[in-house]
A = this chain, B = another copy of it.
Amino acid sequence: MGKELLGKPVRELIRSKIRERIEKGQKIRGYILVNPNSFEAESYAKLVASLLRTFGQEVFLKEVRNLSEGEKVLKEAKQDALSSVFLARPLLFKEESLLTEEIPPEKDADMLTGTNFGKLAKGDLRYLSGTSRAVKELLDFYQIDVGSKKALVVGRSVSVGLPIALLLLKKNAYVTTVHSKTDIRDIREEAKRSDVIVLASGKRGLIRKEDLSPSSLLIDCGYQEDGGGDLGFVPEENVYTPVPGGVGPVTVSALIENAFFLKYGD
Interface residues of A (CB under 8 A from B): 97, 113-119, 121-123, 147-148, 150, 156, 158, 162, 165, 169, 172, 174-179, 181-183, 186-187, 190
Residues from chain B with Cβ under 8 Å of A115 in the complex: 114-115, 118
Residue of B nearest to A113 (CB): B118
* Distance in Å: Cβ of A70 to nearest Cβ of chain B: 18
Contact B178 A177 (CB under 8 A): no
Q: Which among B118, B175, B182 is the interface contact of A117 at CB below 8 angstroms?
A: B118
- Could you list 8 A-B pairs, sorted by A, with CB under 8 Å? A114-B118, A121-B121, A148-B181, A148-B183, A156-B169, A165-B177, A174-B178, A174-B182
Considering the chains assembled together, what is the distance between the CA atoms of A113 and B116 in angstroms? 11
Residues from chain B with Cβ under 8 Å of A121 in the complex: 114, 117-118, 121, 158, 162
Considering the chains assembled together, what is the distance between the CA atoms of A190 and B118 in angstroms? 28
Q: Which among B122, B158, B172 is the interface contact of A97 at CB below 8 angstroms?
A: B122
* Distance in Å: Cβ of A115 to nearest Cβ of chain B: 5
Contact A186 B158, CB 8 Å, known A118-B117, A122-B117, A179-B169: no
* Distance in Å: Cβ of A51 to nearest Cβ of chain B: 27
Considering the chains assembled together, what is the distance between the CA atoms of A169 and B182 in angstroms? 10
Ranked 8 nearest A-B pairs via Cβ: A114-B118, A118-B118, A172-B181, A176-B176, A117-B118, A174-B182, A174-B178, A114-B119
- The residue among A177, A179, A183, A186 with the most chain B CB atoms within 10 A of its own CB is A177
Contact B174 A176 (CB under 8 A): yes
* Distance in Å: Cβ of A106 to nearest Cβ of chain B: 14
Residues from chain B with Cβ under 8 Å of A113 in the complex: 118
* Distance in Å: Cβ of A204 to nearest Cβ of chain B: 19
* Distance in Å: Cβ of A192 to nearest Cβ of chain B: 12
* Distance in Å: Cβ of A196 to nearest Cβ of chain B: 13
Residue of B nearest to A117 (CB): B118
Residues from chain B with Cβ under 8 Å of A117 in the complex: 114, 117-118, 121-122
Residues from chain B with Cβ under 8 Å of A178 in the complex: 174
